[in-house]
Amino acid sequence: MEWLDLQNPRPRSEPLQYVPVVWPTSALLPLPDNLLPDTPPFASVVESRRTRYSFTALPDEQLAALMNLTCRVKATLAGPLSFPQSYRPAPSAGAIHPIHVVLHRPGDDDLYRYDPNEHGLLQLNTSLDVTTLRATMHEVIDAPNATLLLFVAEPDMTASKYENATSLVWRDAGVLLGIFSMAAEALSLSFSPMGVTGEPWASRLVPGAPLFGVGAAMVGGRS
Ligand SMILES: Cc1cc2nc3c(=O)[nH]c(=O)nc-3n(C[C@H](O)[C@H](O)[C@H](O)COP(=O)(O)O)c2cc1C
């Protein structure tokens, strides 16, 4: 294979000013604000985790618990960047968290972006054809009952703090996928990572915006 050298990241001496993408969305649909669910001990979650391919619909309570254990902002930092950094369950280079999670629920006409600050779903105003998106993803994993997750990176966020930021964004995507797989297991859900990046769909979600697909997954209840 041809190994692409993504170059060593290095903090900039001065951050670049960057204004994050404003996603065209409708009003927030709050997710249930569960306390931490009762999960098995971490060691037994690690022992039992498997990629699982049979899915039932994911109730809102379980989606809420999953997002709480993976993406939800636990603390916001007032740093030197032109947008807030945050602490969340997953580590992220520079506490920047440049990866957005976009969801498609089975049978739904719409896509949603998870709002990690408000712990809710924002319906996307997008012209993306969800039927085609879903059909393409089913060519990879045929899971009509699963919720589709798209990991959509905004690399300029990380690039505002680091030179050669590309590998950091990809590593953030891997960390997030790993946390999702563990959290799904802890919640007794089925979870399957997907090898596709989510392109060309992810970069068409908000026309003209610097957003790029860095992964996808299917998640749902276990049958
Ligand atoms: C980055 C990544 C991409 C993957 N892509 C796919 C995929 O496209 N289709 C699939 O069926 N499984 C996919 N998998 C799941 C792997 O096949 C699975 O992790 C592997 O067989 C080991 O099984 P385990 O997860 O149960 O330990 C992917 C896993 C990772 C981490």
**Closest ligand 1 atom, CA of 195?**
5
pLDDT digits (tens, 9 = 90+) for 34-43: 777 899 999 9
Which residues make Cβ contacts (< 8 Å) with residue 1, sequence separation at least 6? none
CA distances from 69 to 12, 37, 50, 73 (A): 31, 10, 18, 10
Return mean pLDDT, the chain: 97
Inter-residue contact 171 to 93 (CB < 8 Å): yes
pLDDT for the residue numbered 223: 83
How many residues comprise the chain?
Answer: 223
Mean pLDDT of 13-18: 97
Burial state string for 63-77 with b = 16 or more CB within 10 A and e = fewer than 16? bbbbbbbbbbbeeee
pLDDT for the residue numbered 117: 97
**Token representation of residue 138:** 């089913």
Q: Phi first, then psi: what are they for 95, rounded to 5°? A: 55, 35
Residue found by looking up tokens 């039992």 in the block:
48
Domains and CATH numbers, the chain: 39-222 (3.40.109.10)
Instruction: Report the nearest-CA residue for atom 28 of ligand 1.
Output: 193
Inter-residue contact 57 to 223 (CB < 8 Å): no
pLDDT for the residue numbered 37: 84
Q: Which burial class, exposed, middle or buried, applies to 106 when counting CB atoms under 10 A from its CB (0-12, 13-18, 19+)?
A: middle
Q: How confident is the model at residue 10 (pLDDT cuts 50, 70, 90)?
A: very high
Instruction: Report the nearest-CA residue for atom 6 of ligand 1.
Output: 194
pLDDT digits (tens, 9 = 90+) for 74-113: 999 988 999 999 999 999 999 999 999 999 999 999 999 9
pLDDT for the residue numbered 132: 96
In the reported structure, the alpha carbon of residue 195 is separated from the centroid of ligand 1 by a whole-number distance in angstroms of 7
pTM: 0.98
pLDDT digits (tens, 9 = 90+) for 149-161: 999 999 999 999 9
Angle at CA of residue 63, ends 54 and 72, nearest 5°: 135
In the reported structure, the alpha carbon of residue 52 is separated from the centroid of ligand 1 by a whole-number distance in angstroms of 9
Is 128's pLDDT higher than 80? yes
pLDDT digits (tens, 9 = 90+) for 64-81: 999 999 999 999 998 899
Q: In the beta sheet, which residues pair with residue 77?
A: 85
